[in-house]
Structure formats: structure tokens, C-alpha cells
Structure 1
Amino acid sequence: MIRVLVVEDDPLLAAGHAAQVSAVPGFTVAAVAGSGREALAAVGAAGAEAPIDLVLLDMTLPDVDGLQVLRALRAAAVPADVIAVTAARDPAVVRQSLSMGVVQYLLKPFTAAALEERLRAYARFRADVAAASGEFGIDQQAIDEALSQLRTAAGPARGVAAPTLHAVVVALREAPAGQGLSAAETAAATGLSRVSARRYLEHLTTTGRARREPRYGGSGRPELAYHPTSAL
């Protein structure tokens, strides 16, 4: 689960953002903060045992602004990623936010669907980086593909090639009943890279044509197996 800190000084908006985050599979709200100081305290309280993975950060807060919160997080070497969720439209604020590693910038007012798109894109980015990390690190193509997830707000439908998608669909349909396919198995069956295979499988999951379940076995972490649904 991706642990999220929601930072928003308006209680109604904070509750709404928290509910929207909780509704997206793979995400959980670790804490809600109504000020910059509360946000930094929440990150510190989470510690290394259950760290904050992602901060939804309003840039206009009642005590210290979002840029100061960002600076404090970076100065403390906190590895959490940040999505700015804000009404701040000042180009200087946008530029400084991006320079300090904000991965997405979402302007208020926005729909629940818009926030969900950003969260799903962020989850795909993390999954791509994890899947591509091997004995010798990550190569340029995998980096480019992972970063493209963050740049594509509308989700994985952009850049999905019909012939490649068909090949993944065929592989998934031909998988042994009840077993499904992992990204690595899909890659082997289609000739794709593991990162690309995962992207297409995630696209099928997002569109309801596949579902993912953990597959347990061996002593390592369980891997995700993708199973066709009746819509496939």
C-alpha cells in the first residue's frame, strides 16, 4: 500500500481528499494535517517503520507555506514524493515546486476523477521503477517509460498500441486457468520488456478487463498475477 499524507487546512476539503485517496486501490491515508507544522510532525511520527510515501500538499497553509514544507522535507532527506494539490497559480510557485521535486501539480478546483488519474499515474510510475530495477540498476528506456507515466495525466490509454494490446490480451486469455500471468511471464510471452508488459496489464486492469492478485510462493515477496475478467 502507498501511504499518503493529506495536507489541507480546510477540514471539508481535507476529508474529501482523504476519502478520494482511500477509494483508489493500492493507496491508504496515513495521516491528515491541517498546517505545515502538523505535516512535518506527521512525517516525523511515521518514521522509518511505516514511512510516508506520498504527500498531497496544499501550497497555501495558515502557518508556513507549502514551499517551506517542501524545503524542510528535502533538508531532512525525507524520500516521500509530493503532489501539489492547490489553488496557487503563481508561476514562480509552480517553478519552485517542480524544482524541489513535486511530481504532479493539480490546480483547485478539480474533480475526484482528476485526482484519481494522478494517483494511478503515480502508482504506475512506482511500479515501473520497481519492475525495472535489476542487478545492474535501471536502464534509460525503463527510466523514460516510468517518467512518462507522470507526464501522462489521462492515464495509460495514451501510448497504448492496439497490436501490442492485442498480443497481451491473447497471452492473458491463453494463461492456465486460475493461474494468470505476471508481468515477467507476459513479457516472455509477447516479447515486450517487463515494464511495458506491466503497463499494458495495468491498462487492462484499469479498464476492467483484468484483475490483479498477489501470487505467493518461495521465500521472496509475492508477485502480482493478472487474471482475465469476463470483459476480456
Structure 2
Amino acid sequence: MTDIRVLVVEDEPIAAAAHAAYVGRLEGFSLAGTAPDGQSALRLLAEFSAAGNPVELVLLDMNLPDLHGLDIARRMRASGLFADIIAITAVRELNIVRSAVAIGVVQYLIKPFTYATFADKLGSYRLFREQLASTGAGGGKAGASQSDVDQAFASLRAPSELPLPKGLATSTLDAVKDFMKRQDRAVSASEVMEVLGMSRVTARRYLEYLADAGTLSRTARYGAPGRPENEYRWLRPTS
């Protein structure tokens, strides 16, 4: 998969430089440019698109000197510019968040944030892109199944964004994650149970939680007696 071209739209020079540097540190992303205001962003997006080298992701501040981020997003869509948008902003009003989701913002980063949080959000977005691509022609499928689509959208949610259900412990969750990261094949709840010394039901709860969070893939394993058992695999971004 080629690098995802990113445009940083931010009016604060220090923040713009930091976000651009963050993009440069991430595998799978390349910086297309930066824009200090909405009009500049729209102009650059149109120029890149006309040149046949469109921006695929916009890191968009919501409060800019000339235009609100929501207005920029609407003008992008009206102009046929369909780059995905991650809102990077200090705006916390729920009505703004709802409006952002309604116009296609795929992630929402609240300032201030750390590089780790930034990398986590963009990593989830990249995985989302890869999973969607794998369900289309490039993945050898005629179309996406419900589980394909569910898994792709689940990858946009980092595990830290999902509340830990009652009865699950962070230390055990970390142990399950560490075990799954080391596996080069899909494993079942029964296999996790045997290695980590927990009940099958408990192992399945942790695996299902990680699958819902988009950290693991989940498929049915056939061939054994009785009902099919799910198997799980750690999702690693492809290069």
C-alpha cells in the first residue's frame, strides 16, 4: 500500500510544525503540505487533485481565522474533494462533534494530545483503509460482507476508547494482547486458555473485546467436531 498523503490544516505555527513532524515519523504516511487557514487548504486540495496527486487525509483544525472546520469539510464535499478528515481541535461541544461525524469526519483528536495518541489514531485510520482495500478488487473479493465492513469500522476505535467491561482486568488484557502479538497464525479461545491458564469463557471474553476494538481479526474455524469456533489473529498493518 502506498503512503497516505496528508495535509495539515492549522493556524498556529508551532502546532502546525509539530503535527507535520508527527506525520513524518509515522510509517505509511507522507506530508503533502500545510495550510494556515481554510481558503489555503481548499486551494491546495484542489491543486493536488488537478495534478493527479490528491490528498487522502486532512488533519483539520476546527477553529481557523477565516472558516470553521465544518464549513471547510462541507466545501470540500461540494467541490468533489473526498479526502478523509481527522479533526484536531480544542473544541469539545457535543453539537460540533455530532456535526463533524455527520459530514464524514472519521476521527476526532482533542488538544492537547501526545504523540502516542496521535500515532494511535492515525494507525487505526491506516488499518481501516487497509481493511477496506482488502475487501475490494485488490483483495480478490467481489464485495464486502457485513463482517468485513464491521471489522474495518471497528479498527477506527482504539482499544483505549472502549470502556473495559465489568469483570475484565487490565493486567489480564495486557497478557492476552502480548500473547496474541507473538502468534504468527490465528488461535482459538481454547488455545489461549491452555497457555494463559484461564477458563475458555474468560479467554473468549478478552478475545471478543479485542476483536470488537479492532485489534484482532475474528473468523470462524471449521473442521472440528461440534459448532464452529472463532479464531483470532493480531492485526498487523501491511507495508
Residue 132 of structure 2 is aligned to residue 129 of structure 1: yes
Report the residue type matching 1:125 in the other structure.
Answer: F
1:67-100 C-alpha deviation (Å, 9 max, x unpaired): 1101101112212100000011121111111100
Unaligned residue ranges in structure 1 (runs of 5+): 172-186, 206-211, 213-223, 225-232
Q: CA deviation at 1:160?
A: 10
Partner of 1:36: 38
Moved over 4 A (4+): 158-164
* 8 Å contact kept, 1:118–1:153: no
Partner of 1:54: 57
CA distance change for structure 1 residues 72 and 164 in 2, over 3 Å: closer, same or farther?
Answer: same
**Residues 53-62 or 158-167, more deviating:** 158-167
Report the residue type matching 1:36 in the other structure.
Answer: G
* 8 Å contact kept, 2:120–2:158: no
- Work out the CA distance in 2 between the residues paired with 1:160 and 1:132: 31
CA distance change for structure 1 residues 28 and 96 in 2, over 3 Å: closer, same or farther?
Answer: same
Which of 158, 165, 183 aligns to 2:180? It is 165
Partner of 1:209: none
Q: CA deviation at 1:135?
A: 3.9
Residue 234 of structure 2 is aligned to residue 200 of structure 1: yes
- Work out the CA distance in 2 between the residues paired with 1:153 and 1:167: 18
Unaligned residue ranges in structure 2 (runs of 5+): 162-172, 187-216, 223-230
- Work out the CA distance in 1 between the residues paired with 2:70 and 2:115: 24
Q: CA deviation at 1:46?
A: 0.5
Report the residue type matching 2:147 in the other structure.
Answer: Q
Partner of 1:78: 81
After superposition, residues 73-112 of structure 1 pair within 5 angstroms as 73-112=76-115
Residue 144 of structure 2 is aligned to residue 141 of structure 1: no
* 8 Å contact kept, 2:9–2:38: yes
- The alignment of Structure 1 onto Structure 2 pairs a total of residues equal to 183
Report the residue type matching 1:131 in the other structure.
Answer: S
Which of 134, 142, 156 aligns to 1:150? It is 156
Residue 70 of structure 2 is aligned to residue 64 of structure 1: no
Q: CA deviation at 1:165?
A: 3.2
Find the residue that maps to 2:109 and give its secondary structure. Answer: strand
* 8 Å contact kept, 1:6–1:31: yes
Report the residue type matching 1:118 in the other structure.
Answer: K
CA distance change for structure 1 residues 26 and 162 in 2, over 3 Å: closer, same or farther?
Answer: closer
Q: CA deviation at 1:47?
A: 1.1
CA RMSD of aligned residues (A): 3.1
* 8 Å contact kept, 1:117–1:153: no
Find the residue that maps to 1:64 and give its secondary structure. Answer: coil
Q: Highest Rg: 1 or 2?
A: 2
TM-score (norm 2): 0.68
